Structure 1
């Protein structure tokens, strides 16, 4: 939805303004800045100045990607900037940011208590920063779908924003945590696993309801959206459900004749849905590499290879006028889709590994995926990481996910659910193949593009020059 930034200290206004310029791609529709009693909102139509609580050494900023809701910061007794979507309440006319502001200030009293109450009331994907002019709090959702980085009491949606003001020891705020006046506080964790008492039939019914509900609430207010589509079970299930609520366009990335392109083309035809195929060539990979690396902010060949299909898909979707893209991210961690889970099952460590992977998904996958889509001014939504879906997946017995160490399919209960919800049988039974391999990008990247690329020099420039890469 946007990019946010906040800072406490000398030169706060100028530092937040610099951070907003660095992450301008996250919100091209409006820019808002709060400092010392004034909120300044700039749009293509001009500039508005609003009154706000005084503060000499705290500034907050916001870049708007207009989907639902208007420009920020928003003000009451305090000031708030927000990134994300809230699904648990009827949203006020001013948008989600006003809802959170009302919850915090309606609770009153100690700020930490008010923040705890607010987070307990929220169902959604979010990060926000709040100040009453004296106190400063930065908060992240319990799954970590929306990013927030910090260095001291400086906060931003991307690391490069903090680099742009000379900060280097940048950390990712853990999911479900806040930093309140410089102190880390845990607010809310993931749902706790509990013993499954349902039959397989009952559990599948609950999963169907939860996945459908997650998709439905994430389409609220939308008329159209894009879906990154591999032709696998996760994305095909989402395609079938999304088509019930809005106009959906599928985007598939791959080399000519690659597995993803072939399966996606057949599935889209059978579903009667619009598919845009983005053909991958060496030239396309070479051209995209600096933009992908600038987005994910770390050199890791596997992370680059995973990120690139999503970057290319969201770039095309953005050019076609889409502001929201859906992804099947999280299904493999919830339902044991990866090949390595077979060995972990054999060793007796599967449940522990699934929990650990879910706890770490924010910095392994989610921050990367958010960065590459928002580099193209497209918000990514991930229905499988809804709290209700997570709660059901955590209590699903592992034998419903993987039947044994020789199980080539994995994710059995999700495959059965998908087949019962309209996914073609040949897709429901298609073995998992990672995006970087199914698209053919990994081979091109490792063999032909990365060997001649000076990533160390590139990352030095990224840190020293504010993270801007020209297209």
Structure 2
């Protein structure tokens, strides 16, 4: 694991060093550089595999192919053996990085199809004067780039590109417009004009000042309706077990996030099969003794006791939010109002291990979030609406609307707002709709973004999929947007801020490709989220873990912002501070804030969204 950066054009040692230093947190152990007359490559290394001889950049036998790499290749041992048998000579002891160089020599651009891992790769091929940027299938590892005067500048984090002297910082209004809806900037946009995100599963080729983009992998949900549930459970467990096993390859101590939920608990249970000493596990709690959050500590302790883990808890105080919030925003370099809990727990993890396995990706694979829970009920409600309107719903009809069978008024509100159309009811769940942004944003900002629509952006994600299964449609949208742009973003940036590498077995491409063939009715069954996964791992877990209500890995934002952090919130969103950028209608912000502080919980996402933007703007442009 590390941070990488570089640029084409004349060598400039000072610039390369400055860019590399900005991402020191990603790799505090050592640095590495390569420069010639055409390209400069830099990296910061977090040493995990081949500690003694695994330094980067690496090269091939002739020294005409050079590479820097962020991530882990989990199947590098078998790949290395295959490449040696084909005549390739390795100079490192057991580096996964060097494996990539020889794979590229052997297979060209198709090398990436052989990799099982998480990665952001830059390859300089002197023979063809070509620079390649490659991002892993799921988008676990971030990678950004910018074109300036025919040259390509790239880095693991935006802050590194901001350190390039030829880039002049300017806010991207289109990206910011979408932030207020999605809580994050949707790729390939970033908050800065001219800086772009490489898509998951994408290869960027730069040659003679020209860029070519190719997708080598794209998720596809295509249901096999003949699938046998019992066989599916066996297959899931088999792949997941191996995915856990190969993610335990490490030359340094490792542990696991453990929230006490199904996903992280299953990972710990499977890790235990391959350990001869106690696993180090880590859980986040809160000193405020919030009832809805105490379950995490309770169930994490149960799992820890069941598997004899060496368990640690980080008990967080509300005071840490204002104290650390600038560091959190600085980790992203962009406005972000999703989950930031990882930042605080990773502080504890860093004291004990360099690597931690997690349960990330399971929600997006098997269905758990509000939009996932709504997919099948809204599909059925649209067909049943005439009967509902006339009061003729039968017991069997109502059963089709679980888990909203006791909240039909909510389904009705969504139906009336959307006509039952899947794109339009999903649009209702965004933080700010386009219509709400018309009231929120200043006339100048609205005029600038008059051709920009977050509804159209959302619709573009739906057009990427072919399935007609309502749940898998929603999962497909999240897989192309929410997962890489928000979930995996906070997992990477907030853990790497503390030099901790996170590995997620549920993101193994073999598991992903298999689960996309499972019909939605097996993923959420009779309102029970992740039903097939829970049944798969239930024998491994202490009683009650699979039946506990879903409680996301999120901070108790409403409780804090409406209570102990109320003064801080009002200070951040004070009229004199927000007037400095002039992007908002102050009266609308005041109205939202007043309603929130009066106890309107429905406004918490909006208020958090506005607060995080304000802090970002002040940090980067104020």
TM-score range, shorter chain: 0.7 to 0.9
Match of 1:398 in 2: 520
8 Å CA contact retained: 1:163, 1:464: no
Match of 1:124 in 2: 117
CA distance in 1 between counterparts of 2:569 and 2:32 reads 39
Q: Structure 1 375/18 Cα, relative in aligned 2: closer, same or farther at 3 Å?
A: same
Q: Structure 1 183/13 Cα, relative in aligned 2: closer, same or farther at 3 Å?
A: farther
8 Å CA contact retained: 2:145, 2:154: yes
Q: Structure 1 446/103 Cα, relative in aligned 2: closer, same or farther at 3 Å?
A: farther
Equivalent residue for 2:44, pick from 52, 60, 63: 63
The Cα shift of 1:268 comes to 2.1
**2:516 aligned counterpart, secondary structure:** helix
How do 1:237-256 residues align onto structure 2 when only pairs under 5 Å count? 237-246=266-275, 247-256=278-287
The Cα shift of 1:463 comes to 4.1
**1:244 aligned counterpart, secondary structure:** helix
CA distance in 1 between counterparts of 2:200 and 2:547 reads 34
CA distance in 2 between counterparts of 1:461 and 1:435 reads 27
CA distance in 2 between counterparts of 1:397 and 1:353 reads 13
Unaligned runs of 5+ in 2: 81-89, 169-191, 380-469, 578-611
Match of 2:144 in 1: 149
**1:276 aligned counterpart, secondary structure:** strand
CA distance in 1 between counterparts of 2:23 and 2:619 reads 13
Equivalent residue for 2:553, pick from 435, 439, 449: 435
The Cα shift of 1:272 comes to 2.5
The Cα shift of 1:12 comes to 4.6
**2:368 aligned counterpart, secondary structure:** coil
Confirm whether residue 225 of structure 1 aligns to residue 246 of structure 2: no
CA distance in 2 between counterparts of 1:330 and 1:214 reads 13
Confirm whether residue 334 of structure 1 aligns to residue 365 of structure 2: yes
CA distance in 2 between counterparts of 1:223 and 1:27 reads 14
CA distance in 2 between counterparts of 1:82 and 1:398 reads 36
CA distance in 2 between counterparts of 1:411 and 1:244 reads 23
Larger CA Rg, structure 1 vs 2: 2
Match of 2:473 in 1: 352
The Cα shift of 1:179 comes to 1.1
**1:436 aligned counterpart, secondary structure:** coil
1:365-387 deviation digits (Å, cap 9, x = unpaired)? 11221001011011111110101
8 Å CA contact retained: 1:191, 1:390: no
The Cα shift of 1:212 comes to 0.3
Match of 1:7 in 2: 7
Match of 1:412 in 2: 531
8 Å CA contact retained: 2:343, 2:495: yes
Q: Structure 1 191/244 Cα, relative in aligned 2: closer, same or farther at 3 Å?
A: farther
Match of 1:160 in 2: 159
Q: Please report the TM-score for the alignment, with normalisation by the length of structure 1.
A: 0.85
CA distance in 2 between counterparts of 1:293 and 1:411 reads 32
The Cα shift of 1:338 comes to 1.4
How do 1:58-457 residues align onto structure 2 when only pairs under 5 Å count? 58-69=39-50, 70-76=54-60, 77-90=64-77, 91=80, 93-107=93-107, 114-115=108-109, 117-133=110-126, 134-152=129-147, 153-165=152-164, 166=167, 168=192, 169-181=194-206, 182-190=211-219, 193-222=222-251, 224-246=253-275, 247-256=278-287, 257=289, 258-301=294-337, 303=338, 306-307=339-340, 309-320=341-352, 322-348=353-379, 349-360=470-481, 361-404=483-526, 407=527, 409-420=528-539, 422-436=540-554, 440=556, 443-444=559-560, 447=563, 448=565, 449-453=568-572
CA distance in 2 between counterparts of 1:416 and 1:324 reads 28
The Cα shift of 1:191 comes to 5.6
Match of 1:47 in 2: none
8 Å CA contact retained: 1:285, 1:445: no
Q: Please report the TM-score for the alignment, with normalisation by the length of structure 2.
A: 0.65
Q: Structure 1 141/208 Cα, relative in aligned 2: closer, same or farther at 3 Å?
A: same
Q: Structure 1 289/67 Cα, relative in aligned 2: closer, same or farther at 3 Å?
A: same
Match of 1:48 in 2: none
The Cα shift of 1:88 comes to 2.8
1:276-323 deviation digits (Å, cap 9, x = unpaired)? 11111122223222221111223333x2xx12x211111111122x11
CA distance in 1 between counterparts of 2:298 and 2:569 reads 27
1:241-262 deviation digits (Å, cap 9, x = unpaired)? 1122244211111213333223
Match of 2:448 in 1: none
**2:544 aligned counterpart, secondary structure:** helix
CA root-mean-square deviation: 2.2
